[in-house]
Amino acid sequence: MIKPVGSETLNPLFVYDTEEHHKLMSEAESLPSVIISSQAAGNAVMMGAGYFNPLKGFMNLADAMGAAEKLTLADGSFFPVPVLCLLDNIDAISGAGRIALRDPNMEGNPVLAVMDVAAIEEISSEQMALMTQQVYRTDDINHPGVNNFNKQGRFAISGPIQVLHFSYFQNDFPDTFRTAVEIRNEISERGWKRVVAFQTRNPMHLAHEELCHMAMERLECDGLVIHMLLGKLKKGDIPAPVRDAAIRKMVELYFPANSAMITGYGFDMLYAGPREAVLHAYFRQNMGASHFIVGRDHAGVGDYYGAFDAQSVFTEMVPEGALEIEIFMADHTAYSKKLNKVVMMREAPDHTKEDFVLLSGTKVREMLGRGMAPPKEFSRPEVAQILMDYYQSLDS
């Protein structure tokens, strides 16, 4: 199986030893503590689950600036985005060498991790602006990722962490949430050697389904890991439980047995387009995938990124050898009326726009909200029914 990034074996930061876990939980109750942001909590979960291997904790300012500007940390190792724990008030932990990080997303704010504080640094407006521009390629506060990044605070607390639970993800998505360790183990148990991963924050329509079949066939893969984001999204995105149900129905009906795993990860979407595409590849390698699908406007939002910026970033910015995972660069896929099947649009040069079944997201949402299923060339009827039920529940 493919090696993790930056090490021979995966090094998750979750404390699995029962005795050590109990000891740390007891200690944490007496430590100075702070409720961290949802984004920082997602970062802690990803480190606990092994997806951010080989990070040992939250980055200091030098490492964060290096990741933003050059995709490398101060020691020269590769990492595509800053992984920060930002606070707007440090009074509760000022001067402390060891602290408890509390979960903002669960009732009672339970302890998520224990940190050995290496530094507390105030980030200047100029440094924040530079990181924002480098990662998101815009400083527009209307960009959901820019807005979320900049509202967390200006104090960066850094240092190694020991993760004690996986936030709400394990409780709310027991059948779907999986750590990188668990996915690696299941890939081994299934006997898969070549594995392609598919990222999604949305339900999968027919074009997505067929893209996965195309990638598996062309790459000669044994299996597919559908890896859905389970964390916070922007307003208007479909909630994770609805996406989960729709994807499960699709796989149940339209994929052969033992060909696809349905999994999810606990992380808040950045909407950082090209830079987030690299991050997605990074943690897919850590979970054991040998290949990763990057499509048109991957991880994008609005009109902030070019259609294929998330593909060109791998040749323009990622240092050679930094990642072993191979990128399957896909074009927009759609149903061809001429060929009576889903194709990549670049592979049908004799087609005009009118030769494809193309529906905007707005149009699809309007149809579903009115109880109208999109055409069968766009969405499987069983998937459409789940989405119609959801949209109609919003009006009831």
Query: Token pair of 148, please?
Result: 């979320």
Catalytic residue among 201, 218, 284, 346: 201
Active site residue 148: no
Spatial separation of the C-alpha atoms in residues 31 and 178, rounded to whole Å? 29
CA distances (Å), 221 to each of 4, 28, 217, 393, in order? 19, 45, 7, 39
Picking from 196, 194, 230, the residue whose alpha carbon sits closest to that of residue 212 is 196
Core vs surface per residue 63-75: b (16+ CB within 10 A) or e: bbbbbbeebbbee
Q: Identify whether 286 is a catalytic site residue.
A: no
The answer for residues whose C-beta is within 8 angstroms of residue 107's C-beta and 6 or more apart is none
Tell me which of 190, 194, 202, 365 is the catalytic residue.
202
At 66, which helix (H) or strand (E)? helix 61-70
State CA 289 to chain mean position distance: 14
Phi, psi dihedrals of residue 102, rounded to the nearest 5°: -100, 145
Q: Hey, what are 202's tokens?
A: 């949305």
How far is 49 from 25, CA to CA, in rounded Å?
A: 18
Which residues are known catalytic residues?
201-202
